[in-house]
Structure 1
Amino acid sequence: MRRVMALIKKDFFVDWRQQNPISGILLYLASTIFATYMAFKGFVSMEVWNALFWIILLFTAINAISKSFIQEERRTHYYFFLCRPAEIIQAKLIYSFLYLTGIAFISLIIYVVLMGNPIINYPLFILNLFLGCLGLSSAFTMVSSIAFRSTNRSIMMAVLGFPVIIPVLILAISNSFKILDSYVFTQIQGNIITLFSVDVIIIALTFVLFPFTWKS
């Protein structure tokens, strides 16, 4: 666990020193939400509010998480002697989840200020948001670990990522809409458990596949 924490700190300090990726993502996030506000004048139905929020979060996640392994290309051989593949992917999964969760909360704050606040059940909405971020960050981390070995990374990200994120998006968007429509936990308990199960499956597949792609 000490090595995992060291790798997480390394990713944090690399992003903090570069700052350009973080600034670009925040600018992209703010400009996208503001453009949405200008297009709809802040008045949208609950269905549109929910759909736009997850669309913005999805494309922000692609920009934020797709770089996970691209910056590691020159450090690959060093990590062969330092850490096991399971430790590397565990650190990446934790950091990507924390990174995307922070972006999601910033996005939610800006979005609520500009587009209104239809959220009634905050704990349930936040729980669904956490599970959605866990699924998206895990899926894009897994796809990024596979794509960074190929020559056409952007194409590989699109081809491999789309079928993986579909079940996460369907469940997260459906749960979110029902929560906004005043559903309580007992009414969507099955969907919440299913979403968590999909997240666990993606994480398990990542741990199974990563050692082979890392050593190839």
Structure 2
Amino acid sequence: MQRIIQLIKKDLVVDWRQQNPISGILLYLASTIFAAYMAFSGFVSVEVWNILFWIILLFTSINAIAKSFIQEERRAHYYFFLCKPHEIILAKLIYSFLYLTCIAVISFFIYSILLGNPVINYPTFLLNLVLGCIGLSSAFTMVSAIAFRTNNRSIMMAVLGFPIIIPVLILSISNSYKILDGFILMQIQGNMATLFSVDVIIIALTFVLFPFTWKS
């Protein structure tokens, strides 16, 4: 755990020193939400509010998590001898989840100011948001690790990431819409369990595939 904590701290320090990616993501997030606000004149239905929120979060997460392994290019051989593969990928998964969760909270805050806030059941909505962030961050971290070893990284991110995130996105949007429609946790616990299971499968696949990718 000490190595994993140190790797998480390292990613935090690197992102803090290289503030351009963080500033770019926040600017992208704010400009996208503002564009949606201007397009809909500040008024949207619950269905459109829900879909727009997850679409904005999806494309923001791609830009945020895509750099997960790309920025490690100069340190790849160093970490190969210093840490074990499962320590590296676990640290990346934890950091990507925390990073995306912070982005999701900021996105929800800005989104609520400009486009309103139809959320009533906050605990269930936030639970679904956390599960969605786990799925998105895990999927894009795994794809970033695979694309890191290829020449066309941006293309590989799109080709490999899209099929993986489809079940996460469908379940998250469906759960979110039901929550906004007044459903309580007991009524959608089956969908929540399914979303959690998909997250576990993606994380398990990441642990299985990453050692082979790292050794190559």
TM-score in terms of structure 2 length? 1.00
Return the offset for 1:160: 0.4
Deviation per residue, 1:62-117 (Å, 9 max, x gap) = 00000100010110110111100000000000000000000000000000010001
SS of aligned partner of 1:44: coil
Deviation per residue, 1:154-197 (Å, 9 max, x gap) = 11111100000000000000000000000011110000000000
Structure 1 residues 1-12: aligned runs within 5 Å: 1-12=1-12
Q: 1:57 corresponds to which residue?
A: 57
Deviation per residue, 1:123-166 (Å, 9 max, x gap) = 00000000000000000000000001000111111110000000
Q: 2:139 corresponds to which residue?
A: 139
SS of aligned partner of 1:68: helix
- In 2, Cα distance between equivalents of 1:9 and 1:111: 30
Segments of structure 2 that go 5 or more residues without pairing to the other structure are none
Q: 1:175 corresponds to which residue?
A: 175
SS of aligned partner of 2:43: coil
Return the offset for 1:211: 0.1
Segments of structure 1 that go 5 or more residues without pairing to the other structure are none
Return the offset for 1:46: 0.3
Question: One-letter code of the match for 2:153?
Answer: R
TM-score in terms of structure 1 length? 1.00
- In 2, Cα distance between equivalents of 1:193 and 1:42: 34
Q: 2:123 corresponds to which residue?
A: 123
Q: 1:25 corresponds to which residue?
A: 25
- In 2, Cα distance between equivalents of 1:187 and 1:70: 41
Q: 2:197 corresponds to which residue?
A: 197
Question: One-letter code of the match for 1:31?
Answer: S
- In 1, Cα distance between equivalents of 2:67 and 2:80: 20
Q: 1:156 corresponds to which residue?
A: 156
Q: 2:112 corresponds to which residue?
A: 112
Question: One-letter code of the match for 1:60?
Answer: T
The runs of at least 4 consecutive aligned structure 1 residues that moved more than 4 Å come to: none
Structure 1 residues 205-216: aligned runs within 5 Å: 205-216=205-216
Return the offset for 1:48: 0.2
SS of aligned partner of 1:69: helix
